[in-house]
C-alpha cells in the first residue's frame, strides 16, 4: 500500500470540501463571503515573503557606470584634440617664385592649397611665371588656405617712350635702344643714298597717327639706313614673285644674287604656314646687288590652347590632333580619383608655338592596392614602394627588427595587406634580424693535438653551418700547431645574430711533415709518439688480420711522402682475437 499517495488524496478531498462549503455560504449570504462551518487550525505559520532585491549590479554600480562614461568622454575628447592638431598641422609653404603658373597649380592641387593668381606686367620675369607670393616660404599653412600669386604678364606694350634722335644714331645704337626698351616692331632696312653717309639713318617712319612725341612699345617704327652711293657698274637683279616660292627657294635666290633677305612671321587664318604673304620690293623690279628685301611669312592659323580639364581623357588626344598640337599623355598618382585630369603643360588660352609639345597629366588613382609582403624580403617591399613613388605616390615604410628563425631581412608582419591604401600611407613592418646562435669555442686547450684543435678548414665548416662570417688572420703563436685557431674576437658561448662577423687568428700552416709508417702500431703507441700533434688522425675498425689485432694494417696516406702539418689521415685497425673472422659483427665463435 502506498501510504504517501493515500495521504495526499485524503488531503486534497478535504480541501475541496472546505472550498465548496465556503462558496455555498457566500452564495447564501447574497454574495458575501462567510467563514466555513468549521476551521481546522494547525501550528504552521506562513513565512513572510522576503523583499526583492536587485542582485545584477553591486551597490556602487551607478558610481562606476558614471566614472566609465566620464572616462569614455575624456578619451573621445583626447582623440578629437589629436585629430584636430594633426589636421591643423598643415604643410610647409615652399618658394614658388620663378615657377610657371601650371606647375604652381599642380603643386597646390596635390597639397590641398587654393591659389589666387593675379597677372601684372613685369619687365624682369618671363610671362607666365610667378613673381611674388602672399605667404613666405617656410610658413606652415593649413589645407584649404588661399595663397595669392602675382603672375608675370610680360612686358606692358602700352608703355610710351620719347622718340630718340634716330637721325644721329647708328644701327647698333638703334638695336640696343629697341632691346633695352622692349620695342617689338622696330624694322631696319637699307637703301642707297648719295647724300647720307653709309651706316647713317636716312629717314624713319612711324605708322601710327596717334604718335606725336612718344611711341608705344608696339608702335611700328621703320628706319632706313644708308648704304652709301649706288655703284653704277653694280649688277642689277630682277626681283621675282617671292609669293609663289618656298622660303627655302627665297633664301637660295637671295644668296645667289647677293640680296639681303629679312624674314618676319605673322599668323594668318588662310595662308598655310611657310607661305609668303608680302615682299617689300615688287616683283619684276630691278635692284642692285646688296639690296635688302623684307618678306612676311605666314605662321599659319593662330592656335589657342584649349582647357583640357573640360574634356574627357578619351577625347583629349583627338582634340589636340585636330588642332595640330603634338600631345604627350602621362599618368601619376595624385589626390584625384582614377582617370581625373591633373594638369597641362601649356596654359589654356595661350597661343601655340610651332615645335611645342603639350603634356597632359592624368591621375592613376588616389589609392593603391597593397599586397602582402609577409615572407618576402624588405628589399622587395622597398622596391615596390620606390616604383610607385616615382609616379607621384609618397609611400613610407616604418621598420621594426626582431630576432627570429627566419633569414635576416624577411618580413614577419605587415600592418596593412591585401587592401586599398592612400598614396601617402605609411606601412609598418616587422623584419627578422636573423636567429640567435651561440659562438662555438674555436680555441682548443694549449698542447692539444689535431684531434681537438680547430684548423682553418674546420672553422669554415662550423661557420657555414651556423651562418656566421669568419675573417681569418694569419699570425704566429708559439705552442700552437700549424693551422690551429688560437684566438677568436667573440668569446665562446656568447649570443650573436646570424651573419655576424667573427675574426679568427691561426698559426701559419705552411709546415711540411713526412708521413711515418703506422703499420703494426697501436693507438696508445701512436699517441705516445705525439703523432696526433702532426696529423689529424681518424681511426676506423677493419677486418680481422692475423698478427694485426688492435694494430694498424692500412693507412690512407703513403708512408714516406710529404704532407702539410695537420693533414687528415685515416688508420685502419685489425679486429682483436675475440672477434669471429667469419662474423666480425657478433664477437662470437672460434677461429678455425
* Cell triple for 151: 603672375
Last residue in a domain, options 382, 417, 432:
432
Report the number of distinct structural domains present in the chain. 5
Domain annotation covers residue 339? yes
Clarify whether residues 355 and 383 are in a common domain.
no
Q: What is the pLDDT of residue 62?
A: 60
Residues 147-158 pLDDT 10s: 999 999 999 998
Residue 273 has pLDDT above 70, yes or no: yes
Which carries the bigger pLDDT value, residue 340 or residue 10? 340
Q: What is the pLDDT of residue 518?
A: 94
Domain annotation covers residue 189? no
Residue 275 has pLDDT above 60, yes or no: yes
Q: Across the strands, what pairs with 351?
A: 304
Residues 430-475 pLDDT 10s: 999 888 889 999 999 988 888 899 998 899 999 999 989 999 999 9
Q: What is the pLDDT of residue 40?
A: 41
Residue 193 has pLDDT above 90, yes or no: no
- How large is the average pLDDT for residues 253-275? 91
Clarify whether residues 123 and 97 are in a common domain.
yes
Distances (CA, A) of 419 to 338, 371, 422, 526, 551: 17, 7, 10, 72, 74
For residue 554, what are the domain limits?
512-573
Q: Across the strands, what pairs with 186?
A: 221
571 Cβ contact list (under 8 Å, min separation 6): 518, 526, 537, 538, 539, 540, 552, 554, 555, 556
284 in the Ramachandran plot: left (φ > 0), alpha (ψ -120 to 50) or beta? left
Q: What angle do CA 253, 259, 264 make, to 5 degrees?
A: 85
The 10 Å Cβ neighbour count of residue 26 is 13
Q: Across the strands, what pairs with 120?
A: 152
Residue 331 has pLDDT above 50, yes or no: yes
Q: What is the pLDDT of residue 42?
A: 43
Q: What is the pLDDT of residue 89?
A: 61
Clarify whether residues 501 and 440 are in a common domain.
yes
Which carries the bigger pLDDT value, residue 211 or residue 306? 306
Domain annotation covers residue 182? no
Residue 326 has pLDDT above 90, yes or no: yes
Domain annotation covers residue 325? yes
Q: Across the strands, what pairs with 201?
A: 225
The 10 Å Cβ neighbour count of residue 441 is 13
Q: What is the pLDDT of residue 407?
A: 86
Last residue in a domain, options 385, 403, 432:
432
Is 135:116 a contact under the CB 8 Å cutoff? no
Residue 182 confidence class, pLDDT cut points 50, 70, 90: very high
Integer Cα distance of 273 and 254 in angstroms:
21
Residue 566 confidence class, pLDDT cut points 50, 70, 90: confident
Domain annotation covers residue 314? yes
Residues 76-115 pLDDT 10s: 767 655 555 555 567 899 999 999 988 898 888 888 899 9
Q: What is the pLDDT of residue 73?
A: 72
CATH number of the domain that residue 526 is part of: 3.30.10.20
Residues 412-431 pLDDT 10s: 999 988 999 999 999 999 99
Domain annotation covers residue 591? no
What mean pLDDT, rounded, does the chain reach? 84
Integer Cα distance of 244 and 265 in angstroms:
17
Is 305:349 a contact under the CB 8 Å cutoff? yes
Q: What is the pLDDT of residue 412?
A: 95
Q: What is the pLDDT of residue 30?
A: 43
CATH number of the domain that residue 322 is part of: 3.30.10
Last residue in a domain, options 126, 152, 178:
152
Clarify whether residues 102 and 134 are in a common domain.
yes
In a 10 Å sphere around its CB, with 0-12 CB exposed, 13-18 middle and 19+ buried, how is residue 103 labelled? middle
Domain annotation covers residue 194? no
Clarify whether residues 500 and 543 are in a common domain.
no
Domain annotation covers residue 197? no
Integer Cα distance of 313 and 75 in angstroms:
47
Residues 239-249 pLDDT 10s: 999 999 999 99
Integer Cα distance of 328 and 85 in angstroms:
41
Amino acid at each position: 500500500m502506498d501510504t504517501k499517495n493515500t495521504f495526499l488524496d485524503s488531503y486534497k478531498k478535504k480541501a475541496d470540501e472546505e472550498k465548496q462549503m465556503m462558496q455555498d455560504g457566500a452564495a447564501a449570504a447574497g454574495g458575501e463571503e462567510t467563514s466555513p462551518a468549521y476551521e481546522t487550525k494547525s501550528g504552521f505559520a506562513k513565512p513572510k515573503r522576503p523583499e526583492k532585491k536587485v542582485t545584477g549590479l553591486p551597490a556602487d554600480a551607478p558610481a562606476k557606470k558614471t566614472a566609465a562614461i566620464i572616462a569614455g568622454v575624456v578619451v573621445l575628447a583626447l582623440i578629437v584634440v589629436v585629430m584636430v592638431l594633426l589636421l591643423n598641422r598643415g604643410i610647409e609653404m615652399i618658394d614658388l617664385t620663378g615657377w610657371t603658373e601650371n606647375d604652381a597649380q599642380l603643386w597646390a592641387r596635390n597639397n590641398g592649397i587654393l591659389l589666387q593668381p593675379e597677372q601684372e606686367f613685369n619687365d624682369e620675369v618671363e610671362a607666365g611665371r610667378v613673381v611674388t607670393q602672399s605667404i613666405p616660404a617656410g610658413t606652415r599653412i593649413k589645407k584649404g588656405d588661399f595663397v595669392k600669386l602675382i603672375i608675370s604678364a610680360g612686358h606692358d606694350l602700352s608703355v610710351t617712350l620719347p622718340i630718340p634722335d634716330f637721325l644721329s644714331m647708328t644701327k647698333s645704337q638703334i638695336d640696343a635702344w629697341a632691346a633695352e626698351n622692349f620695342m617689338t616692331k622696330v624694322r631696319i632696312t637699307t637703301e642707297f643714298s648719295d647724300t647720307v653717309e653709309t651706316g647713317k639713318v636716312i629717314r624713319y617712319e612711324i605708322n601710327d597717327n596717334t604718335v606725336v612725341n612718344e611711341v608705344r612699345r608696339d608702335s611700328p617704327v621703320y628706319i632706313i639706313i644708308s648704304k652709301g652711293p649706288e655703284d653704277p657698274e653694280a649688277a642689277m637683279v630682277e626681283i621675282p614673285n617671292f609669293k609663289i616660292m618656298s622660303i627655302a627657294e627665297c633664301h637660295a635666290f637671295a644668296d645667289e644674287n647677293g640680296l639681303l633677305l629679312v624674314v618676319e612671321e605673322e599668323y594668318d587664318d588662310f595662308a598655310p604656314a611657310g607661305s609668303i604673304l608680302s615682299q617689300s620690293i615688287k616683283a619684276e623690279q630691278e635692284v642692285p646687288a646688296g639690296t635688302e628685301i623684307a618678306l612676311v611669312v605666314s605662321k599659319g592659323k593662330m592656335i589657342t590652347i584649349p582647357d583640357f580639364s573640360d574634356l574627357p581623357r578619351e577625347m583629349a588626344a583627338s582634340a589636340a590632333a585636330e588642332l595640330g598640337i603634338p600631345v604627350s599623355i602621362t599618368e601619376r598618382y595624385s589626390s584625384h580619383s582614377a582617370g581625373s585630369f591633373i594638369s597641362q603643360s601649356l596654359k589654356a588660352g595661350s597661343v601655340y608655338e610651332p615645335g611645342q609639345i603639350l603634356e597632359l597629366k592624368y591621375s592613376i588613382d588616389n589609392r593603391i592596392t597593397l599586397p602582402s609582403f609577409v615572407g618576402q624580403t624588405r628589399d622587395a617591399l622597398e622596391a615596390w614602394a620606390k616604383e610607385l613613388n616615382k609616379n607621384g605616390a609618397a609611400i613610407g615604410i616604418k621598420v621594426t627588427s626582431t630576432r627570429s628563425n627566419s633569414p635576416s631581412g624577411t618580413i614577419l608582419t605587415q600592418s596593412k595587406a591585401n587592401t586599398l591604401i592612400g598614396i601617402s600611407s605609411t606601412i609598418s613592418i616587422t623584419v627578422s634580424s636573423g636567429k640567435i646562435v651561440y659562438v662555438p669555442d674555436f680555441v682548443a686547450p694549449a698542447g692539444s693535438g689535431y684531434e681537438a684543435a680547430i684548423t682553418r678548414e674546420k672553422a669554415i665548416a662550423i661557420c657555414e653551418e651556423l651562418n656566421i662570417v669568419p675573417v681569418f688572420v694569419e699570425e704566429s703563436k708559439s705552442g700552437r700547431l700549424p693551422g690551429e685557431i688560437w684566438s677568436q674576437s667573440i668569446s665562446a658561448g656568447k649570443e650573436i645574430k646570424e651573419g655576424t662577423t667573427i675574426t679568427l687568428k691561426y698559426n701559419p700552416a705552411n709546415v711540411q711533415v713526412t708521413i711515418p709508417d703506422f703499420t703494426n702500431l697501436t693507438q696508445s703507441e701512436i699517441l705516445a709518439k705525439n703523432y696526433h700533434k702532426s696529423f689529424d688522425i681518424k681511426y676506423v675498425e677493419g677486418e680481422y688480420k692475423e698478427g694485426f689485432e688492435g694494430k694498424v694494417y692500412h693507412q690512407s696516406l703513403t708512408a714516406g711522402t710529404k704532407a702539410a702539418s695537420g693533414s687528415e689521415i685515416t688508420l685502419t685497425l685489425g679486429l682483436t682475437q675475440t672477434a669471429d673472422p667469419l662474423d666480425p659483427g657478433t664477437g662470437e665463435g672460434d677461429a678455425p
